[in-house]
Every structure is written in structure tokens, then in C-alpha cells.
Structure 1
Amino acid sequence: MSAFPQGTVHEAADDVQAALRADPQVYALWGGLTPLGRNEFLCWIDDAKQPKTRLRRIERTKEELQEGKKRPCCWAGCIHRTDKAPGKWQQAVLIDQKRR
């Protein structure tokens, strides 16, 4: 089996890989994303706190890829990247909120 295209910071867990590989069209779309684009989807999926939400986000990722999206809809962006500082909105909403 070929190496699975990963993100810049996040790596796809087995459940994500299986779901995306299951549909050749979706897998091709996934492979066509930039590493940063894949990273955004993986961060969004990994951020889910409940298994049910994680499954829903995996399915939504497949749908959004088929809709031609390059990043997850309504996601502020990965806060785990070390190549750039989080934006003000990310800091206020995603980082500071988690410290509470």
C-alpha cells in the first residue's frame, strides 16, 4: 500500500485513512490537497472531543472534498503549526478558551 498523504503537523489516524481510502475519488482529491490543506482537515478531525463528532467530521471531510473545498468549512485553522504564530482570533477563541 502506498504512503498516505499526511499534513504538515498532523498525521491521519487509521480511521481517517480507512475512510478516505475507501472511496478512490475522495482519496484522489485528498492526495491533490497541499500538505497544509490536509493538515487543516486533520486538525479539525482530531479536535473532536467525542467519537460521534469525530465520525461526523470524517464524513464531512469526504463531502467537502467532493464539493471542491481545500480547507474545512468554518474552521479557524490549526494552532499546532510551528511555522507561523496563531492569529489573534485563533489565540482568543481556540487557545485562551482551552485554558479555562
Structure 2
Amino acid sequence: MTTIDVKSRFEAKLLRPAKPGNDTSWAFVVLPRDASEQLPRRGRTTVEGTINGHHFQATLEPDGQLSHWLQVSRELHEAAGAAVGDIVTLELTPVKKEPEPDIPPDFQEALAATPEARKVWNNTTTIARVDWIHWITSAKQLKTRAKRIGDACDMLASGKKQVCCFDQSGYYSKAFRAPEAENF
């Protein structure tokens, strides 16, 4: 993956999520706003970088505050010699071309059943596809997700290449945010 020549270097605290779900081994870092402002977009953004000198590639998530956060797997923070609570040094560079997103199986089925939607989907940009998928997967309830899949197919079939009314940064809708950190 080729990267853009903008490199951001900063230090941040490695945090443990208060509600990690079933996997309690991951941690996260919230990017300082000035580091996030150097990225090409406020929504999901793929970067290459290092954490304490250890290389990785990951997709940053929007935090709803016009910044981003990074999920750090146990394998990555252990390889970087870092533990939760440590201050880590990160260097991030956005990739020049976003990788193609994985299409969730339920959305794949809906696209396959709607050839007009699939045709428009195939002619959209990678970033637009990332936003469509993010909009669908950000639904908190299965009923909402199913409605969004149906709406996405309808919009795509009508020729719409970008999801409307979706704030990929979460700033205006507060749809996205970094996890709440566990108290130390």
C-alpha cells in the first residue's frame, strides 16, 4: 500500500475500553486533534504507521469530535512493548488509496438481488463504498440495519453514488465516538 507523504508524530496514552465486549485484550488511543487534522478526511481513514517503532496498518475510526481513535490489538501493543496505561509514540501516514472495504454478507445478498444497485455500487469510489458500509454497520439495532440495507439498495438503484444525510465524522449527529476509557 502506498502512502501519502504527510507523517504525523505524537504521544498518547494507551487506554483500555470500559466496555470491551467479549474481547478484553484490546486497547485504544485517541489521536490528538492536530494529528487528526493532517488526515485527508474526518471519517474512517486507513493509515500506515508505527507504535513505539513497531509497524502496522489500520483503519482509524471517527470519534465524533472531528478527530479519530485507533483500536490496538493485544498482539500489536505487546509487539510494541506497551501495556495499557503507557504513553506510546505513534507515527501515522495516510495511505494514498483506501483498501476496498469488506462487504457484509447481508448487504452482499441485497446487492446481488438488486442488479441496478450493484451496477451503481461497482461504479462508485472506494471512499463512497466505505461510507455506505459504515452507515449500514453503524446501526445499533438489526431492524435499523435491515432498513438501511434496503434504503441503500433503493438509493443506489436510483443512481445515487453517495449515501446522503450521513455525517461520516459523527460530529453533527454524534453517531460515532471513541470508546469510554476504563478508570485506572
The aligned counterpart of 2:116 is 25
Deviation string 1:40-62 (CA, Å, 9 cap, x unpaired) is 10000000011100000000101
Deviation string 1:25-52 (CA, Å, 9 cap, x unpaired) is 2111110111111111000000001110
Q: How far apart, in 2, do the equivalents of 1:23 and 1:52 lie?
A: 20
TM-score, normalised with respect to structure 1: 0.69
Q: Could you tell me whether the CA contact under 8 Å between 1:8 and 1:36 is conserved in 2? A: no
The aligned counterpart of 1:14 is 105
Q: Could you tell me whether the CA contact under 8 Å between 2:118 and 2:157 is conserved in 1? A: no
Alignment match of 1:76 (pick from 156, 164, 167): 167
The aligned counterpart of 1:3 is none
Q: Could you tell me whether the CA contact under 8 Å between 2:107 and 2:149 is conserved in 1? A: yes
Amino acid across the alignment from 2:136? I
More helix by share: 1
The aligned counterpart of 1:55 is 146
Cα RMSD over matched residues? 2.7
Q: How far apart, in 2, do the equivalents of 1:67 and 1:56 lie?
A: 16
Say which SS state the counterpart of residue 44 (structure 1) adopts: helix
Q: Could you tell me whether the CA contact under 8 Å between 1:37 and 1:71 is conserved in 2? A: yes
Once the two structures are TM-superposed, the CA of residue 8 in structure 1 deviates from its matched residue by: 4.0
Runs of at least 5 residues in structure 2 that lack an aligned partner in the other structure: 1-97
Deviation string 1:53-98 (CA, Å, 9 cap, x unpaired) is 0000000101111232222111001x5xxxxxx8xx36x83327x7
Matched residue pairs, number?
83
More strand by share: 2
TM-score, normalised with respect to structure 2: 0.40
Q: Could you tell me whether the CA contact under 8 Å between 1:16 and 1:58 is conserved in 2? A: yes
Amino acid across the alignment from 1:22? A
Percent identity for Structure 1 against Structure 2: 30
Q: How far apart, in 2, do the equivalents of 1:10 and 1:49 lie?
A: 20
Distance 1:30 1:57, change over 3 A: same
1:45 aligns with 2:136: yes
Runs of at least 5 residues in structure 1 that lack an aligned partner in the other structure: 1-6, 80-85
Q: Which moved more, 1:62-71 or 1:32-41?
A: 62-71
